[in-house]
Structure 1
Amino acid sequence: MNAPTSSLTRHAVSVAKRLVVKVGSSSLTTAGGGLDAERLDAIVDTLACRVAAGTGVVLVSSGAIAAGIAPLKLRRRPKDLATQQAAASVGQQALAHAYAESFARYQLTVGQVLLTADDVARRAHYRNAQRTLHRLLTLDTVPVVNENDTVATNEIRFGDNDRLAAMVAHLVGADALVLLSDVDALYDGDPRLPESSAIREVHGEKDLEAAKIGDSSSGLGTGGMVSKVDAARLACTSGIPVLLASAAESGRALGPADTGTAFRARGSRLSVRRFWLAHAATAHGRLWLDEGAVTAVVDRRRSLLSAGITGVEGAFHGGDVVEIADPHGTVVARGLCSFDSEELPELVGRSTHELPDDQRREVVHADDLVPLP
């Protein structure tokens, strides 16, 4: 195994003044379900130490469904939605109580924040969540965030808390994101094999080509290395460095950050509005562009005009978010469309001066358009 190396990314994690930490289900619960008080306390010990050093910490915690398995006398994690929601209802209460008691050992107050994907897809809800989290931090409270599994349906789920953690990191303006799980690093092969080596630094996509990325095998969580890498990409391309490490080494991860895999931030930090447009909002349709229009909106950051559009897909209204695709179907940007989908077909390919006076405007204004990495 390669030894951890020092880097600017690790330094950024170690000195971050605002930090989002995500903990997976398998790091908090027993193999049969139910909370493991000793493991939960160990996580809280390291978080409390970081808070005492002056860092504002937001904890994104999985474990509600897993914590409800034992009390409901279930043999394994349920697969049907209704039983998952029932387990979450029981387990979320136990999880919140356990965190409140554990943080109280350090005279720290916790605040529970339950979110669904719908809460970040809708801009008003997104802003409300942001205000709540910021206020909790200014009140010296540790926000404990989880997906609201009790009411979330398959249509409005994040799918895993890794992506939720990346969203929250941007929402609160975090300086870094730490993903803690039962996996100690990203590997270039099966981590159970002795010939596999840990990848200690990820600077870009080339460093991920040799990685062995698989799904969760614990049976308790929904995330795996795929979701962690996707979350790291989302955070890094938005200017937030990421550290992936084992929960068993949380002291090192939240201290000198000399363990696990460090993902370098390689994008500029977007405003909350532009991040919402790019990553959180639900797209209601798609606009297909010719090559010239792609160059204009992506490379030159110009507004999208009707002349560069070659096709319209989906049903949407003016003000809805749409995807913007190149001739090959690759989504290269997202933005707020100023026309209804029913209006656009007759405008496709036409220059602005050819349009009626009431339609002589940008289809997507540059201020409402975000190119994707």
Structure 2
Amino acid sequence: MSDVRAAIASARSIVVKIGSSALTDLESGLDRSRLDALVDALEARMAAGSDVIVVSSGAIGAGIAPLGLRKRPTDLATKQAAASVGQLALAHAWGTSFARYRRVVGQVLLTADDISNRAHHANAQRTLDRLRSLHAVAVVNENDTVATNEIRFGDNDRLAALVAHLVSADALVLLSDVDGLYTGDPRKPGPDGRPATLIAEVSGPDDLDGVIAGSGGALGTGGMASKLAAARLASDSGVPVLLASAADAAGALRDASVGTVFAARPERLSARRFWVRHAAESLGSLVLDDGAVQAVCLRRRSLLAAGVTAVHGNFSSGDVVDLVDTAGTVRGRGVVAYDADDVARMIGRSTDELPSDLRRPIIHADDLVPA
């Protein structure tokens, strides 16, 4: 067994994401037998001593059949209506299934704003931590009934990766209808006529060269592209990841012997740096000259006014902004120390040329993360 699989198998705290296709189908909606089988596997892992947080998709899928819809809705209002029906059924099903093991379930509904807003972020963290300390099983989902297109996570794979870092989990397990990461679509021959092959372990970006990832299916919003992005997000923050089929949940949660694993970076990002890089919404951008890109984004120096050539957006002190080079490529992110109007007045000026109240760095090195 590889070190990565061993780390996931022995993790004391894990986040497990369950995809829509593992819980629902278009004709009958929520599949209780499949959910029960997943709960059996989750209970076995908890009985072995691990804390488990579940990130459950399926609210919209569970509401499709009861409302008489024939396919997953595409307009926001119908999605929210289906979610309002399905969320109730989904929460009840999780609670009923875990009750077989005398487990109490707590539902936690989040929007992207709950993660990007620092105060909401801290509240969500405290709630999840308290549920764990009370030995309740937290079942997390995106709050589809109120989330809009502008404030969505996009898919529950990303939500799961953000939750894994939020609660300082030791591992993330993504369970869906695929049994791992392949070099291409395993249902089709590749350009050379050969079938796609399973990638057992991803140690770094080089292992993903040539990999082709597709979009989601009829019931979900994810797909391999979103799972790959979520796995890279989590592993970049220091959390190892296992991607496997929900049908293999028992093996995935017992000893991580199935699917594809993603190695974590050696050092976990601090909560603040993770928030800046992955969770916070960017409210503007600063264009840096070549010298500032080298100093700030590559050598982690504080950003001074002299290195800024343009300002975009209507941000305030304390907001997160992107740092872009003259070609328009995002090279990093940071928490800005001034309002946009103040930064615009500071552009290109040396520290000595600025008024005393504007002589701090525009972004301090401690508030910077490279792209």
Q: TM-score, normalised by structure 2?
A: 0.96
Please name the residue that 1:221 is paired with. 220
Q: Partner of 1:355 in structure 2?
A: 354
Q: CA deviation at 1:139?
A: 0.8
Alignment pair present for 1:141 and 2:136: yes
Instruction: Give the AA of the match of 2:214.
Output: G
Q: 2:184, 2:274 → 1: CA distance?
A: 33
Secondary structure at the aligned position of 2:196 is classed as: coil
Query: What are the within-5 Å matches in structure 2 for residues 1-373 of structure 1?
Result: 6-193=1-188, 195-217=195-217, 219-266=218-265, 268-372=267-371
Mapped partners of 1:183, 1:324: distance in 2:
36
Amino acid of the residue matched to residue 286 of structure 2?
L
Kept in 2, the 8 Å contact 1:33–1:66? The answer is no
The answer on whether the counterparts of 1:238 and 1:267 sit within 8 Å (CA) in structure 2 is no
Please report how far the alpha carbon of residue 249 of structure 1 lies from its aligned counterpart in structure 2 after TM superposition.
0.2
Question: 1:96 touches 1:112 (CA, 8 Å); kept in 2?
Answer: yes
**1:26-72 deviation per Cα after TM superposition (whole angstroms, max 9, x unaligned):** 00012425110110001100001111111000000000000001111
Cα distance in 1, alignment partners of residues 124 and 70 from structure 2: 35
Cα root mean square deviation, aligned: 1.2
TM-score (norm 1): 0.96
State the Cα distance separating 1:328 from its structure 2 match: 2.5
Indicate conservation of the 8 Å contact 2:26/2:65, yes or no: no
Which moved further from structure 2: 23-32 or 240-249?
A: 23-32
How many residues are treated as equivalent by the alignment?
366
CA contact (8 A) 2:26 2:70 kept: no
Q: Which runs of 5+ in 2 are unaligned?
A: 190-194
Change (3 A) 1:267 1:158: farther
SS in 2 for 1:244: strand
Question: In the alignment, residue 270 of structure 1 is paired with which amino acid?
Answer: L
| Contact 2:287–2:325 (Cα < 8 Å) also in 1 | yes
Moved more, 111-120 or 331-340: 331-340
The 2-side partners of 1:121 and 1:106 are apart by 35
CA distance in 1, matches of 2:278, 2:266: 14
Residues 302-321 of structure 1 show CA distances to partners (whole Å, capped at 9, x for unaligned) of 21110111111111112211
Shift of 1:267: 5.2
Identity of aligned pairs, percent?
A: 63
Question: For 2:357 and 2:32, how far apart are their aligned partners in 1?
Answer: 64
Q: Is the 8 A contact 2:6 2:255 kept in 1?
A: yes
Distance 2:234 2:137 in 1: 21
Match of 1:319, SS state, is coil
Give 1:3's aligned residue. none
Contact 1:33–1:220 (CA under 8 A) maintained in structure 2: no
CA distance in 2, matches of 1:211, 1:31: 30
SS in 2 for 1:258: coil
Letter in 1 for 2:187: R
Question: Following the alignment from structure 1 to structure 2, what is the Cα–Cα distance between the partners of residues 202 and 365?
Answer: 34
Tell me which amino acid in the other structure corresponds to 1:54: G
Tell me, in whole angstroms, the C-alpha distance in 1 between the residues paired with 2:369 and 2:212. 31
Take 1:269 and 1:66, find their aligned partners in 2: how far apart are those partners?
Answer: 35
- Tell me the secondary structure at the aligned position of residue 312 of structure 2: strand
Between the aligned partners of 1:23 and 1:154, the Cα distance in structure 2 is 22
Counterpart secondary structure, 2:29 = coil
Letter in 2 for 1:207: D
